[in-house]
Chains A and B, each alone.
Chain A
Amino acid sequence: MRSPTALGWAAAFLAPAAISALDALSHRPSTQLAGFLYLFAVSLAAYLGGFAPGLVASVVSTLGLAYFFTPPRHDLIPNNGDQAGGVVLFFIVAILISQLFERRRQVQREAEAASARANRLQAVTARLAEAVTPQQVLDAIVTEGVEAAEARAGAIGLLSHDGETIDIVAQRGYEQNIFVGWETFPLDRETPMGRAILEETPFFFSTSAERNAAFPNMAGLSGPSHGLAILPLVVEGRAVGGIAFTFPREIEFDADRRALKATLAQQAAQAIDRVRLYEAERALRQRMTFLADASELLGSSLDYEATLAELTRLAVPEMATWCSVDMVASDGSIRRLAVAHEDPERIAWAERLGDEYPPDPDQPMGVPNVIRTMTAEFVPDIADDLLVEAAQGDERLLEIVRELGLRSAITVPLVARGRALGALSLIRDESAPRYTEVDLDLASELARRAASAVDNAILYREAERRGDATRALAHVDDGVVLVDQDGVVVSVNPAAARILAVDASEVVGETAIGAIGAWSEIDDNAKPERGQTRGPVTLPLVLVDGAERWVSVSGVDFGDGVVYALRDVTEERLLERTRSDFVATASHELRTPLAAVLGAVKTLRREDVSWDAEQREVLMDMIDREAERLSGIVSQILLTGQLDAGRLPFEDERFDPVALTKSVVDSAELHLPSGIELRVQAKDDIPLVTGDENQLRQVIANLVDNAIKYSPQGGDVELRLNRNGQFARIEVVDCGLGIPSDEQDRIFEKFYRLDPALTRGVNGTGLGLYISKELVERMNGRISVDSELGRGSTFVVEVPLAV
């Protein structure tokens, strides 16, 4: 732009001079022609140099015209008024022409400036378009902005998330170290950028002195005086930061320059906004993806230990440099469940560190505190003094944590149903950006989902365990009743329902005393003290159905209630009673013949008596008979022992049941009491049977013996034989005392005796029918009884036919 101006000045003098020279060449030059030529010269000067050269050219040309070409020639003063008017008119026209050209030049210059500005801004835009990462965008703004603003250096500062400080995020052109200590500085009116942001107003300082006047604290800055422009970056009516341009020298900020800076700031603000939006969206997408992945993971398995470990791995490295999960163990201690880091060595190292420095549950910060207070801890900036505090005076630990370069941390509690299950910790080191509120929200959401998943898993496990327990209890023969602290029945297993003769569904939810008839007995005798165990005690319970049962009960108080274990020992007690009856009976049964034998021997050996043959024979006969009886009882007892042990040999023979029955009757006839008659009634067509003939003989003999014993008043005993399908049926029928109907089922039991006190005068061990039943069943036969009290009994033995 310089040369046209210089040319303009040259033209301003030379062109009129050249025209003036025409005077020497022409004898009578035309005044009009000269006037036009001069006007041309003025136009040339104004065109090339603008108004000033045009004005000079106009003056020179007017003088030239007046001196050389207006009569009188070579005189400045015109002849007459007309000529003077012509010169004045010329001058006016020349001035107008100059102005005309000046305006045209101005328009052209403005167009060029606008074009240049547009070009610069376009360059900025182009660079911004190429920028991919936020940092590239910021760098592009600074670089191109400095260029476009014709500044020496520039910097962008952005408000931090909390709005408290300004972070210098990009700069260009400054001396190194100028920002040391100024990477972040408080947002206040003490700094130009702070003030520009707070007031949302640009500041332009043409000189350092001007700046220092406004900001006295900057007076100490050295260097030559220079211009400074600082503008707020405004997005959607809100200042998000500021941009500063430092100029190489003092500068006058005309409207044009100010407008350009404003445009640059606006463009920067938009770019930053776009970047932020993009970043936010990208982060959001990333977080959503992470959260979706995490949710899927959490829902994938009930093995929450493994799932949480997987979750920590999922969080690294996008969400955290370190990610760990700590859980509260059943004893209240805090246990590290999982920790993830990009570098496996670091994990091992962290685990060692954890062993060395176990978490103190009363620690005022960190995981224990988060779990205790169920409140998240968010440390966006881990300052050194925080580390010093955390190390609690341990220099080595401090050194270790310092070396980790921890930058930012979030610890969120895993809370479900009002209970802290553990905590999730996310930590970033200096390689990653600081955590923001958004990250805290994400971590909280993640923790909520994780806690819910863990809680579900725990609930499921408990349910399953309870289910297992219920299933197990359903198959336990012992009754189990669970009663809560208030005495309300919580559960009753089928065995307990059976023992207590109640319907489980009707008593659960009711108080035990109200719903279970015999419960007060249990409450009085088996209810333990808090935390104690009581019993077992055996109680006779009279149940709602009127039945009496002996039940062994023990109670265990587990804090929230009492578990009662019930066992029906009625059978055992009955067995015990029959066994003690047996001992008494067997004792009686053995002692009586023994007394007879021994007594007879002692008597026979009396030396003060001489026995005649008849007396001796009576006593000897007694010894014989009673010794036989003794032997019979002993063999019954031995036989029972053999049967119980399964050691009785068994012959599989084919034999005729009719012949067998007849031979038994023949033997019995030998010492038949008076008043009894034995009869055998057999069908003709009874085939052979299979079994042990000798054992069947014992059975029939025993039944015949019983029939005789239980017919003390005498009467007929009849043996009937017939065929019943694939069985031979032998009935032994008497018309003696008979058996009460409620005892008919039990007479085949071991030791069971119809009349333990022998008041009906019938002796026996209570083993005969038990032995008979065992023997018959071993032959694949069966035995049963049909009887009416006072009318006699019919015992039926069926043995399979031989095929």
Chain B
Amino acid sequence: MSAQPKRTEAGRLRVLVADDEPPIRLLCQVNLSIAGMDVLQATDGEEALELARTGRPDIVLLDLMMPRIDGWTVAQELRSDERTKEIPIVFLTARATANDRRRAEELGALGYVLKPFDPVGLAPLVTDVVDRCARGESEQLRRERPPELWPADLEG
């Protein structure tokens, strides 16, 4: 974290957490706040898109299975919108198949966090992704296997 990435005026990272499950949002909120980040919460896809456009987050933690608009569509929309296409996306999901993972990579995800995850590691992950993107290493990051919070032994 030597090079300071782009920050909000207050110098705090702003993280958009989009998940329909209140416990997950709560865990993100608690742990990211402790790391000094601002957390925007969306309870479905529609809200996520809205907040991404208006709230100018530094990163989006995106659930896949959400009411109204699912995470895949949200990611697509974000990618195709000039205002939001630079925002790094890290999926935060219970979907564990290789197919889902491949699809996430194709959509330009820079991280794939499989539930259950360690919420304590969430803040360092977010910082790392945001920093590398600020250094222009997003392509490199994308080519690497997206970082995960937990080893794959919980996968179905």
Residues in B93-110 with C-beta less than 8 Å from chain A = 94-97
Contact assessment for A591 and B96 in the assembled complex, using a CB-CB cutoff below 8 Å: yes
B127 — which chain A residues lie within 8 A by C-beta? none
Contact assessment for B116 and A594 in the assembled complex, using a CB-CB cutoff below 8 Å: yes
Contact assessment for A757 and B94 in the assembled complex, using a CB-CB cutoff below 8 Å: no
Stretch in A195-203, A324-332, A596-604 touching the partner: A596-604
Majority-rule SS of A interface residues: helix
Residues in B59-73 with C-beta less than 8 Å from chain A = 65-70
CA distance A619 to B118 in the complex (A): 15
Is A608 part of the contact surface with B, judged by Cβ < 8 Å?
A: yes
Is B5 part of the contact surface with A, judged by Cβ < 8 Å?
A: no
Contact assessment for B94 and A591 in the assembled complex, using a CB-CB cutoff below 8 Å: yes
Q: When A and B form their complex, what is the total count of cross-chain residue pairs whose Cβ atoms lie within 8 Å?
A: 92
Expressed in whole angstroms, the minimum distance between the Cβ of A634 and any Cβ of chain B is 15
Contact assessment for A588 and B23 in the assembled complex, using a CB-CB cutoff below 8 Å: no
Contact assessment for B94 and A592 in the assembled complex, using a CB-CB cutoff below 8 Å: yes
B21 — which chain A residues lie within 8 A by C-beta? 592, 596
Is A25 part of the contact surface with B, judged by Cβ < 8 Å?
A: no
CA distance A600 to B94 in the complex (A): 17
Expressed in whole angstroms, the minimum distance between the Cβ of A675 and any Cβ of chain B is 15
A590 — which chain B residues lie within 8 A by C-beta? 94
Most chain-A CB neighbours within 10 Å: which of B95, B97, B116, B118? B116
B154 — which chain A residues lie within 8 A by C-beta? 591
| A618 (CB) vs chain B CBs: closest residue | B26
Contact assessment for B24 and A595 in the assembled complex, using a CB-CB cutoff below 8 Å: yes
Is B120 part of the contact surface with A, judged by Cβ < 8 Å?
A: yes
Is A587 part of the contact surface with B, judged by Cβ < 8 Å?
A: yes
Contact assessment for B116 and A583 in the assembled complex, using a CB-CB cutoff below 8 Å: no
Contact assessment for B96 and A587 in the assembled complex, using a CB-CB cutoff below 8 Å: yes
A602 — which chain B residues lie within 8 A by C-beta? 118-120
Majority-rule SS of B interface residues: loop
B94 — which chain A residues lie within 8 A by C-beta? 587-592, 595
Is A396 part of the contact surface with B, judged by Cβ < 8 Å?
A: no
Is A683 part of the contact surface with B, judged by Cβ < 8 Å?
A: no
User: How many residues on B have C-beta within 8 angstroms of the other chain's C-beta atoms?
Assistant: 30
Contact assessment for B115 and A592 in the assembled complex, using a CB-CB cutoff below 8 Å: yes
Expressed in whole angstroms, the minimum distance between the Cβ of B1 and any Cβ of chain A is 17
Contact assessment for B115 and A594 in the assembled complex, using a CB-CB cutoff below 8 Å: yes
Is A606 part of the contact surface with B, judged by Cβ < 8 Å?
A: yes
CA distance A592 to B34 in the complex (A): 23
CA distance A595 to B66 in the complex (A): 16
| B31 (CB) vs chain A CBs: closest residue | A603
| A611 (CB) vs chain B CBs: closest residue | B30
Contact assessment for B156 and A759 in the assembled complex, using a CB-CB cutoff below 8 Å: no
Q: Which of B30, B97, B115 contacts A584 (CB 8 A)?
A: B97
Expressed in whole angstroms, the minimum distance between the Cβ of B84 and any Cβ of chain A is 21
Contact assessment for A759 and B116 in the assembled complex, using a CB-CB cutoff below 8 Å: no
Expressed in whole angstroms, the minimum distance between the Cβ of B68 and any Cβ of chain A is 6
Q: Which of B26, B65, B67 contacts A622 (CB 8 A)?
A: B26
| A591 (CB) vs chain B CBs: closest residue | B94
Known A-B contacts A758-B65, A761-B20, A761-B67; A583 and B30 likewise in contact (beta carbons under 8 Å): no
Contact assessment for A760 and B115 in the assembled complex, using a CB-CB cutoff below 8 Å: no
Contact assessment for A600 and B27 in the assembled complex, using a CB-CB cutoff below 8 Å: yes
| A756 (CB) vs chain B CBs: closest residue | B65
Contact assessment for B95 and A599 in the assembled complex, using a CB-CB cutoff below 8 Å: no
Is B44 part of the contact surface with A, judged by Cβ < 8 Å?
A: yes
Is A609 part of the contact surface with B, judged by Cβ < 8 Å?
A: yes
Spell out A's residues near B (CB within 8 Å). Answer: 583-584, 587-600, 602-603, 606, 608-609, 615, 618-619, 622, 625-626, 712, 757-761
19 A-B pairs within 8 Å (CB atoms) are namely A588-B95, A590-B94, A592-B94, A595-B24, A595-B94, A596-B24, A596-B27, A598-B116, A599-B118, A602-B119, A603-B30, A603-B31, A622-B23, A758-B20, A759-B45, A760-B68, A761-B44, A761-B66, A761-B68
Apart from A588-B65, A595-B24, A618-B26, what 20 extra A-B contacts exist at CB < 8 Å?
Answer: A589-B94, A590-B94, A591-B96, A591-B116, A592-B21, A592-B94, A595-B94, A599-B27, A599-B117, A600-B27, A606-B34, A615-B30, A712-B67, A758-B65, A758-B66, A759-B45, A759-B68, A759-B70, A760-B68, A761-B68
